[in-house]
Amino acid sequence: MSEERPPLRVVISDPRAGDKVIRVKVKGVEDIELKDSMRKSREADRRELPIARVSKKLYDELNLGHVGVMTLRFKSPDGKKVKIPFKVEVKEDLEDYTVEVNMELLGEAAGDLEAEAEAFRAKSWQIAVPEDVHVKLSGLEIGDVFDGSLIGMPGLKLKIRGGTDATGIPMHPGVPGSGRYKVLLAGPPGFHPREKGERRRKSVRGRMVPDPRGERRKTALAQLNVIIQYE
């Protein structure tokens, strides 16, 4: 991947996640591999989700079957809440409401090898994709749907909702192409009027995902927002 541009972050939202929360006991174990890119301190560069093993009971109660992504919310040693999304696997002999994760990741998040946490079906998470995957996404537009296997989420259909570049300029569904333009806006994205009828000329990006090989670091697309499309 080119050193000139950071990886594209794809933020995935699950509209059916719901609000159910279950308190669980989390144990750190050594037999779940954890790559450097999965560390909480480098979440923006994470190319795949870390793995958590759960009981069948917890898997069913949180309705994790279709998407298979769960968030654990810990209280860190300094009292702050830390949320980490995990790809889940069922372990048949695991106690109910017990979760196993990598010991290094748990130590980093909670400061111990055992901790309590709140578990819930993930509402959103992000994956950093390498340049070759970004190239395959180029040419797609806001509203297009692509196969989740392209970013390591097989079985899901993902619909593009928008995105922003490295300077925070948003993609706009009404602007063709992938370049940056100044257009007159009466509402979001790109402008939130404070008064009725207010309009402003603002910078936006076109609705198309650009080819990263033709972009400069300072103006490259940095984040793509997608939502799971259910049948």
Token pair for residue 106? Answer: 């748990």
The CATH class for the domain spanning 18-122 reads: mainly beta
The pLDDT tens digits of the residues spanning 13-60 come to: 999 999 999 999 999 988 655 444 355 445 666 788 899 999 999 999
What pLDDT shows up at residue 6? 76
Q: Are 110 and 78 in contact (CB under 8 A)?
A: no
Separation of alpha carbons 191 and 184, rounded Å: 9
Q: Measured between alpha carbons, how far is 8 from 56 in angstroms, rounded to an integer?
A: 34
Q: Residues 148-171: pLDDT tens digits?
A: 999 999 999 999 999 999 899 999
- Binned at pLDDT 50, 70 and 90, residue 1 comes out as very low
- CA dist., res. 231 & res. 229, Å (int): 7
H or E element: which one contains 120? strand 114-121
Domain with CATH 2.40.40.20 in the chain: 18-122
Q: What angle do CA 125, 12, 165 make, to 5 degrees?
A: 95
Looking at residue 119, its pLDDT comes to 97
Residues 6+ apart with CB under 8 A from 46: 37, 38, 126, 127, 128
Contact in structure between 100 and 119 (CB atoms under 8 Å): no
Neighbours of 199 (CB within 10 A): 11
Question: What DSSP assignment string belongs to 21-37?
Answer: -EEEEEEEESSS---GG
Residue with tokens 């009027």: 193
Q: How many CA atoms lie within 13 A of 64 on its CB side?
A: 27
pLDDT at position 43: 63
